[in-house]
């Protein structure tokens, strides 16, 4: 019997602004508590950021709308600057991303000292806009997210505890960072819940915006 045989899934990829080429996603690394105000709203003092991961196929691309996930009653938005790692393991481009989080599952995992995988690495948990190649347009750019036209998150990139170059250097001490890696660099304060039907607009000055609607299951 050959019922178990199947073709490999296609490699997830992101569009590159101004280019017909696409960026193949190898894996997704994420930094937690990298904005001091967000760390405080989550009940923590300012501290060294730490990493968690999402699978490459968690990325949601090309303006697609993620489906409200299973097993949660408290889905949260977290707007983030995303670094795209290119040839030589350097940051080759940037995008606007949204780290969707099953906050109730995360809280339960924290209480029991368990991993966050189910809270962070679920299907369609990483909507991401197109990659803009080159240097970051402005380290002081505004980063913001609105839901149904209401601003929920607003900050500046230079509010980050660790800047992107420092984050990349830290990641290299833990992984063999390679082309195709995405690094979500943390979120400012104002994270909050999403419901099916909510329209999310996320932006960072100088980058292509990320817009999606949460679809009902």
In tens digits, the chain (217 residues) has pLDDT values of 567 778 888 999 999 999 999 999 999 999 998 997 655 565 566 567 789 999 999 999 999 999 999 999 999 999 999 999 999 999 999 999 999 999 999 999 999 999 999 999 999 999 999 999 999 989 899 999 999 999 999 999 999 999 999 999 999 999 999 999 999 999 999 999 999 999 999 999 999 999 999 999 9
Number of domains making up the chain? 1
Q: How many angstroms separate the Cα of 142 from the Cα of each of 30, 38, 116, 176?
A: 20, 16, 29, 31
Interatomic CA distance for residues 111 and 102, integer angstroms: 15
Answer whether 195's CB lies under 8 Å from 147's CB.
no
> Could you list the residue range(s) of the whole structural domain that residue 72 is in?
13-213
Long-range contacts of 148-152 (CB under 8 A, 24+ apart): 148/198, 148/199, 149/199, 152/77, 152/190, 152/191, 152/192
Q: Which of 148, 118, 123 is closest to 64 using CA atoms?
A: 123
Would 4 be classed as within a structural domain? Answer: no
Answer whether 127's CB lies under 8 Å from 212's CB.
yes
Would 118 be classed as within a structural domain? Answer: yes
C-alpha count within 13 angstroms, C-beta hemisphere, residue 191: 25
| DSSP H/E element including 111 | helix 103-112
Answer whether 140's CB lies under 8 Å from 158's CB.
yes
pLDDT at 38: 54
Whether the model pTM is above 0.85: yes
Would 201 be classed as within a structural domain? Answer: yes
Would 6 be classed as within a structural domain? Answer: no
Residue 103 belongs to a domain with what CATH number? 3.90.850.10
Would 174 be classed as within a structural domain? Answer: yes
Would 116 be classed as within a structural domain? Answer: yes
């Amino acid at each position: 019997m050959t019922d178990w045989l199947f073709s490999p899934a296609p490699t997830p990829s992101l569009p590159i602004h101004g280019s017909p080429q696409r960026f193949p996603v190898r894996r997704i690394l994420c930094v937690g508590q990298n904005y001091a105000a967000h760390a405080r709203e989550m009940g923590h003092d300012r501290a060294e950021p730490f990493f968690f991961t999402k699978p490459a196929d968690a990325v949601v691309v090309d303006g697609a709308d993620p489906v409200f996930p299973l097993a949660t009653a408290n889905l949260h938005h977290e707007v983030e600057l995303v670094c795209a790692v290119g040839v030589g393991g350097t940051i080759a481009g940037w995008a606007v991303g949204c780290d969707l989080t099953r906050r109730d599952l995360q809280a339960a995992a924290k209480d029991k000292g368990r991993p966050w995988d189910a809270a962070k690495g679920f299907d369609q948990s990483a909507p991401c806009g197109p990659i803009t190649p080159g240097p970051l347009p402005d380290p002081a750019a505004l980063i913001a997210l609105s839901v149904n036209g209401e601003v929920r998150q607003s900050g500046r990139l230079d509010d980050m505890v660790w800047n992107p170059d420092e984050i990349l250097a830290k990641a290299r001490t833990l992984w063999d960072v390679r082309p195709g890696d995405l690094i979500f660099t943390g979120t400012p304060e104002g994270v909050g819940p999403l419901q099916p039907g909510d329209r999310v607009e996320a932006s960072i000055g100088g980058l292509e915006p990320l817009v999606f609607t949460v679809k009902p299951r």
